[in-house]
Homo-oligomer: A and B are copies of this chain.
Amino acid sequence: SCRLQWHFALRLPRSVPNACHYSAVHSDAKVKDPFTLAQKDLKNLYDDIKKELFVSTAELKSLCHYYFDGKGKAFRPMIVVLMARACNLHSNRDGDLLPAQRSIAMISEMIHTASLVHDDIIDGSDTRRGKKTINEVWGERKAVLAGDFILSAASMALARIGNNAVVTVLSQVIEDLVRGEFMQLGSKENENERFKHYLEKTFKKTASLIANSCKAVSILVNPEPEVHEIAYQYGRNVGIAFQLVDDMLDFTSYANQLGKPSAADLRLGLATGPVLFACRQFPELHAMIMRRFSLNGDVDRAWRYVLQSDGVEQTNYLAQRYCQEAIRQISKLHPSAEREALIRLTELVLTRNK
């Protein structure tokens, strides 16, 4: 049966929590928009990343620069920059970013991008951010190398920071990304463990990078391990919430003019939060999950079950709970505009629709 003892799921509230609790604070006009506040430090970020990716051959250059076109959301660098400044102020420094902290903002985006390049090969994806993927344009072989190259350039930049704790913390991210991807490829998980497995995969694939980047910028300025842990926990919780919302949007956002939802995850055989919750109401989903939606009609049928269920809503509640925990953590830092912007950012994570 799908009615399992899911630790997280069973502790979920049965009604929508009062989201206004936070929005009252967030709508305060004095709280700066995180994007605006981070802007000065993010200026030229992509140009600086391209300088790290110095390459002599024109073709390798085109591949490696492909996703650093400045059209990304720079979500990870933005969090890193704001966290860095909040941590600096917490230790009674001025808020200005240290060069090493800005490097970490760049490295976080480089690691993220390298993992996208390899993910797209693994998923056989042909589009990303409205353009063709690297594997689609240049083929799988060169895409493998482009990902390796971006990752090694990130490692070099990391080594140049010259802080062993920072190197260790960010090396862990790359390991987590691979483990997370492998967990995602695995399809035969024990039914009881499936939700735990999903959240662990979500941590490794998405949240580890954010959590450990936040930790790294704190290590550089705060002597207290407690502060590193606050930064880490904020990043971990925001990162998981971000991915839960992503998984939710895969069911609710409309990808093209025909109004057809993409349900890309189902097509890839992946059961994310909304399906796992829906399975509690519609045990018929269990067999489809186990065969990774591989039979004709599985994707459409599963999609309909999910929308009939409260799976999307429950996923949203869960994301809210992670954001509440992120806020609880970051609130332990001394007050600053950056701290408030990081709180507001959790709201943006929950309300984004693309």
Residues of chain B within 8 A of A168, CB atoms compared: 156, 159-160
**Does A59 belong to the interface (CB within 8 Å)?**
yes
Provide the main secondary structure of the chain A interface.
helix
A155 at the interface (CB under 8 A from B): yes
Given A182-B57, A185-B141 in contact, is the A159-B148 Cβ separation under 8 Å? no
Verify A175–B156 contact, CB threshold 8 A: yes
Q: Is the CB of A155 within 8 A of B174?
A: yes
Please name all residues of chain B whose beta carbon is closer than 8 Å to the beta carbon of A148 when the two chains form the complex: 118, 147-148, 151, 174, 177-178
**What are the residues of chain B within 8 A of A144 when measuring CB–CB?**
118, 121-122, 144, 147
A297 to chain B, nearest CB (A): 25
Q: How close is A112's CB to chain B, nearest CB, in angstroms?
A: 14
Q: Does A162 contact B (CB under 8 A)?
A: yes
Which residue on B lies nearest to A176, using beta carbons? B152
**A98 touches B (CB below 8 Å):** no
Q: How large is the interface on A (under 10, 10 to 19, 20 to 34, 35 or more residues)?
A: 35 or more
* Residues of the B chain whose Cβ atoms lie less than 8 Å from the Cβ of A158: 171
Number of copies: 2
Provide the bound-state CA to CA distance between A185 and B63, in Å: 14
A140 at the interface (CB under 8 A from B): yes
Within 8 A of B (CB), among A121-154: 121-122, 140-142, 144-145, 147-149, 151-153
| A155: B residues at CB distance < 8 A | 155, 171, 174
Q: Is A181 among interface residues, defined by CB-CB distance under 8 A?
A: yes
Contacts of A140 in B (CB 8 A): 121, 140
Question: Is B159's CB under 8 angstroms from A164's CB?
Answer: yes
A172 in the interface (beta carbon within 8 A): yes
In the bound complex, do residue B159 and residue A162 qualify as a contact, i.e. CB atoms below 8 Å apart? no
Give Cα distance in the complex from A144 to B114, angstroms.
Answer: 12
Q: Which residues of B contact A59 (CB under 8 A)?
A: 182, 186
Cα distance, A224 to B148, chains bound together (Å)? 33
* Chain A 92-131 interface 0/1 with B at a Cβ cutoff of 8 Å (1 = within): 0000000000000000000000000010011000000000
Within 8 A of B (CB), among A241-276: none
Contacts of A186 in B (CB 8 A): 57, 59
Question: What are the 5 A-B residue pairs with the smallest beta carbon separation, nearest first?
Answer: A152-B174, A159-B167, A149-B178, A152-B175, A159-B168
